[in-house]
Amino acid sequence: MSKILKNITLLIITALFIAGCSDSDTPKQGEQYQPLTTPLTQTEIKPVTEVFSLTCGHCRNMEASIPELEKLTNQDISKIHVTFNDQAQVAALIYYAAVMQLNHMPDEAMMKDLFAAVQLGEGTTISQQQKAIEEVFTSRHMISPYSFDDLQQKALFRYLNQAIDISKQGEFNSVPTFIVNGKYEVLVGGHKDIQDIAKTINFLLKQP
């Protein structure tokens, strides 16, 4: 009888252990992700889209991990610049001035320079920051957004208005974050590292 009880106890403990491991391995709604109130269907929204701002220090840190995240998820990650305040909208204009001229997202090197120029830090004058931003563009033989003519400004504001629509519809209140299949928002703060974020993204990519 004692041996039977030991075996039953062992089976129960093993089952609980397996259940615990299985549960912890599955991303949880409200902790690692949440569904969007309204799905995003705009063409700018890809299977995995980063929502970010050039003014955000955490976004700047995340940028260095994007190549690794793309490898771990086997996805090309697109970007949407948030516009939830005046500062973010100005930064969005700078970002989309690059997108408009390149006809695609800036590469890793240009993103690094854009973050650095926008986040020069305290004590920086407006003219110093403008000069730094202009240098990012002119060093690549691109037109500085400060030198756009009327037609270019109108085209740029179309990009901004699209970003505003997506920001409002997505109800984003913090960055960086990632949108998966236009339906789910990854809660970055609920993850311990980039591998953990990739696990949630891969899980959400398989969801209906």
pLDDT above 90: residue 123: no
Give domain limits for the chain.
30-205
Segment 50-71 shows an average pLDDT of 97
CATH of domain 30-205: 3.40.30.10
Strand-by-strand arrangement of the 177-180 sheet: 33-35, 184-186, 177-180, 48-52, 78-81
Of 10-14, 26-30, 110-114, least confident by mean pLDDT is 10-14
List CB contacts of 176: < 8 A, sequence separation 6 or more: 50, 51, 52, 56, 58, 59, 62, 188
178 pairs with which residues across the strands?
50, 186
pTM confidence score: 0.86
pLDDT in tens, 2-14: 555 455 554 444 4
